[in-house]
Amino acid sequence: MKKLLMTVIMLVLVSTTVLTACGGNNGGNQQGNNTSNSNSSTSNSNSTPDPSSPTDTDKKAEPFTVSLRHIQIGEAQKFRKAILDDVVAKTEAEVPGLTFELEGVEDSVNRFTKLPAEMAAGNPPKIFDLFGGEGDALKYGAAGRLLDLAPILEELGLSNSFLNLDQFTLDGKVYGLPIGGNIEGFYYNEEIFATLGLPEPKTWAELEQAAQTLTDNGYTAFAMGSKGAWVPLMLVNTLIGRYAGPESISGFSSGEAKWNSPEVVAAYAKYEEWVKKGYFTKGELGFEYADMLNEFLTGKAGMMFDGSWRSSVFSDETQAGALTNKVGFFTMPAVEGGVGDQTYVNGNYSNGYGFSSDLNEQELVAVKAFIKNMYSEEMQLRGLLEDGVLPSIKLSSDALSKVEDKIVKKVITIMGEAGGAFSHFDSTVQSSVYKETEDTILKLIAGQETAQSVADQLQAVQDKANQE
């Protein structure tokens, strides 16, 4: 009897220990349950508080936090970060009890490492930096991880304000909001060009002549940091838009365009030719995106292919130094024999904010207030004037006339003259195809593949992805 009693006591003790250890997160689970309850009550209720007047002074608000992941880290993003900080402060002031928990993460780490893992686990931040397109917003939206913003936009009167929501829209649902627009083109060092007697390239021959002259004179023609494959792919993307036509970019996933068509191969062949001619940074495979800017800013490179989002750097003396306001911008010239309208630009409204679908009532109020403040005319104009990022919402011509930065002015002119815009293929092709474009461009740069072999491999992966 005594033995039995001892055994039972020990069993109870051991079980208690194990169960206590396993149940350590009970509080969290409880909270989670509360959250989902609140969620369901939110979705069932039509009386969502108005974010424009969320303060209920009679009732002391419960403190709560909302996680916000951004990619505005480093000196080059300081203007954009300042705008975000102001929006955060304004939103916190408007929503009682709200505190944002900001987390700054490097762009590609957020996009390709943290966010996919969080989406798989179902615990992304409440607000986070998000790219549009098949591999990002649309994929996560279809999996139910993202908040549909269409009703919120309607509630806030922003339904018709955005210039382009294509990369975030699926079946009428809006899964993210672009923070701005951009085009991609060549930045060039005006001083070096003047010294070498080079004009701003307006034709393909002038562009290649400039590249050759720069190389002959000991400069890097095109600064490049290819450690992240997306950087050289910006240029490849635009070359494809020129050689194979603007429609090709969206045609790969529908089967209307082929990676191994002669036109796309010609685009890759041109890139390969430039690699062989030594136009790009020596040892580019070991340099990061930031290194590319540094090389250009230190006057070692004559040109750099990048997005218009970089323009604010060149008017900021602390970053551009001696190169302040001595940088020009031009879009890729027309290619002789290129398919389609050669005035099209590589333009995107693809980067912005997404919002978790797992929000409680308070968090939803905070999200609405954040959207209202971030996508206001005031903040969008600040983005344009301070950061050189084209607005994602329609601004009045009066507002646009305030632009003084010469690169931003040039960008606006280019966009005005362009026949249209084609997007990045990272937002139009399937993730498996995009991954293959990353793998193959690095091999092309390293001389392990040719333009034709790259194109054939890409088409094989594309065919497989289109069948799935």
Partner 1 sequence: MKQTLRNPWVYVIMVVPTLVLYSLFFIYPMATSSYYAFTDWNGLSDYSFIGLQNFIDVFSDKDFLHAIRNNMLFIVFSVFVQVPLIIIFALLIASVKRLQRLYKTTVFIPSILSTSVIGILWGFVLHPNIGPINKMLSFFGIEPVFWLADSKWALPSVLIVNAWQWMGFYIVLILAAILALPKEMNEAAEIDGASGFQRAWYLTVPLIKPIISVVVMLSIAGAMRVVDIVLVMTKGGPVGATEVMASYLVNEALGVNPNYGLGTAISLIIFVFALLLTAIYQRTFGRTED
Shortest separation between residue 147's beta carbon and partner 1, angstroms: 16
Binding of partner 1 by 113 (CB under 8 A): yes
What is each CA distance from 398 to 344, 381, 410, in whole angstroms?
Answer: 26, 11, 17
Helix, strand, coil content of the chain in percent (nearest 5): 55, 15, 35
Hey, which bits of 321-427 come out as E strands? Answer: 327-330, 345-348, 351-355, 421-422
**Interface with partner 1 in residues 119-138 (CB under 8 A):** 119-121, 135
Size of the site for partner 1 (CB under 8 A): 40
The Cα–Cα gap between 120 and 139 comes to: 11
> Taking contact as CB under 8 A, which single stretch among the options 271-279, 280-288, 385-393, 412-420 is the one that binds partner 1?
280-288
**Interface with partner 1 in residues 343-382 (CB under 8 A):** none
Binding of partner 1 by 17 (CB under 8 A): yes
| Candidate list 80, 90, 145, 382; residue touching partner 1; CB under 8 A | 145
| Candidate list 170, 285, 290, 400; residue touching partner 1; CB under 8 A | 285
257-267 core/surface letters (b: 16 or more CB in 10 A; e: else): bbbbbebbbbb
Shortest separation between residue 2's beta carbon and partner 1, angstroms: 8
Binding of partner 1 by 268 (CB under 8 A): no
Binding of partner 1 by 286 (CB under 8 A): yes
Binding of partner 1 by 442 (CB under 8 A): yes
Binding of partner 1 by 140 (CB under 8 A): yes
Alpha helix ranges (H) inside 23-97: 26-44, 78-94
Q: Which residues make Cβ contacts (< 8 Å) with residue 263, sequence separation at least 6?
A: 243, 244, 245, 248, 338, 339
Shortest separation between residue 185's beta carbon and partner 1, angstroms: 25
Hey, which bits of 169-307 come out as E strands? Answer: 169-170, 173-174, 177-178, 182-189, 220-223, 301-307
Nearest to 296 by CA among 273, 329, 333, 334: 329
Binding of partner 1 by 435 (CB under 8 A): yes
**φ, ψ at 282 (rounded to 5°):** -70, 130
Shortest separation between residue 14's beta carbon and partner 1, angstroms: 6
Whose Cβ is closer to partner 1: residue 113's or residue 343's? 113
Shortest separation between residue 405's beta carbon and partner 1, angstroms: 30
Residues of this chain that bind partner 1 (CB under 8 A): 2-3, 6-7, 10-11, 14, 17-18, 22, 112-113, 116-117, 119-121, 135, 139-140, 143, 145, 227, 282-287, 431-432, 434-435, 438-439, 442-443, 445-446, 448
